[in-house]
Amino acid sequence: MRPPIFNLVPPGDPAAHHDTPELKKAALDIATRTGINLLRHMYGQFPLILTYLDEDTAIENPLPLTQYQRPPPLAKANFPDDVEFIRQINEGGATPIFLVKTEDNLRLLKMFPAFGPVPESYRPSRRPDSGRPVDPMRPFMREKEAYAHLQHGGVCEKGYVPQCYGWVELTQAHVEAIARAVPGLVYGDGQDLDDLLDKAYEGLFPKGILIEYFPDAQVLSTRNVTRELAEKAVPSLYAIHAAYVLHGDVQQHNILLLPDGRVIWIDFDSSMCGSDPRLHRHNLFLELQGGWSIFYRRLVSALVSMSNYD
């Protein structure tokens, strides 16, 4: 999908010649003196005009997706019983993530415990309360569907999101390996190893997504953000949208920075894909605005403010 998003200014726009080094320097000088970022609406090589998009109007007049074809499902990965579980990298996280070694490769396993705590599914703000019970595997299905779209759209290959090696279904041997490697396992809303073992005893085994491991990644913050990184991050979010995937949880903790300068978007268990009839283009517009706001209104503005005290 290459949607003609009305609030993206493409290269070659008649106003692009105004975006000069002199303009940027002048704006930075003003920001340094006043703390006001004049370029919070438009900046750099990827200018985005934040034309106001009224959410209520957009929901009443939804813009359909174009040229969408559902991709093949995500393949099931080979995950033998002798996989080595090394450690949990997100102690206390709602969804346990383990560093594992399989066939001499380090990978991350994002595990979705059976009947574990489930976040609310992403919906537009004016959502009716259906009163239906929440499917405990819904986050897993969302992440699985998202990576099917991201793989098919070439987003994994381009390095905007982790490589995904498929989905897995854990066995009794895997649960016992977790018990040996992480005896102090804690996840979700106070769940622990006993909960995991009890569910396994009942025949309810977790599922998971096997993804790329970045050993030197840093979570995005005001301490490591730069204007150059911001100019990479928003186009990479657009690339995710071009694969018909709405991230659904655009927050700093879901953005990784790598030593080679890459920006990686992670955690798609709140996502929505083109296969969901509730997804419309206005959802993508609004999320892109939110991503822009994180970088240019919050992080880069904070970076400028901190520079006043250097």
pLDDT at 53 (0 to 100): 54
pLDDT at 64 (0 to 100): 84
**Residue 41 clears pLDDT 90, i.e. is over it:** no
pLDDT at 141 (0 to 100): 96
- Lowest-confidence pick of 40-44, 118-122, 138-142, 178-182: 118-122
Q: Which two tokens stand for residue 189?
A: 């809303």
* Mean pLDDT computed over 16-27: 66
What confidence tier does 45 reach under pLDDT thresholds 50, 70, 90? very low
pLDDT at 188 (0 to 100): 81
Ordered by start, the domain boundaries in the chain are 14-70+217-307, 84-212
pLDDT at 251 (0 to 100): 92
Mean pLDDT for the chain?
Answer: 80
Express each pLDDT in 226-257 by its tens digit.
Answer: 878 888 888 899 999 999 999 999 999 999 99
* Mean pLDDT computed over 21-26: 72
pLDDT at 147 (0 to 100): 99
With 0-12 / 13-18 / 19 or more C-beta atoms within 10 angstroms meaning exposed / middle / buried, residue 59 is: middle
| Angle of the 300-307 helix axis to the 227-242 helix axis, nearest 10 | 180
What confidence tier does 271 reach under pLDDT thresholds 50, 70, 90? very high
**Residue 113 clears pLDDT 70, i.e. is over it:** yes
pLDDT at 133 (0 to 100): 46
Strand pairing partners for 88? 98
User: What's the rounded Cα separation, in Å, for the pair 36 and 38?
Assistant: 6
**Residue 120 clears pLDDT 70, i.e. is over it:** no
What confidence tier does 7 reach under pLDDT thresholds 50, 70, 90? very low
pLDDT at 291 (0 to 100): 86
Strand pairing partners for 101? 84, 106
Identity of residue 145: E
pLDDT at 119 (0 to 100): 46
What confidence tier does 54 reach under pLDDT thresholds 50, 70, 90? low
Q: What is the CATH number of domain 14-70+217-307?
A: 1.10.510.10
pLDDT at 190 (0 to 100): 84
**Residue 111 clears pLDDT 80, i.e. is over it:** yes
* Mean pLDDT computed over 176-199: 92
What confidence tier does 30 reach under pLDDT thresholds 50, 70, 90? confident
What ranges make up the beta strands (E) of the chain? 84-88, 97-102, 105-112, 164-169, 186-187, 191-192, 207-212, 218-219, 245-246, 255-257, 263-265, 272-273
* Mean pLDDT computed over 59-83: 90
* Mean pLDDT computed over 284-301: 78
pLDDT at 289 (0 to 100): 81
pLDDT at 57 (0 to 100): 63
* Mean pLDDT computed over 282-289: 86
* Mean pLDDT computed over 303-307: 53
Find how far residue 207's CA is from the centre of its chain.
19
* Mean pLDDT computed over 143-172: 98
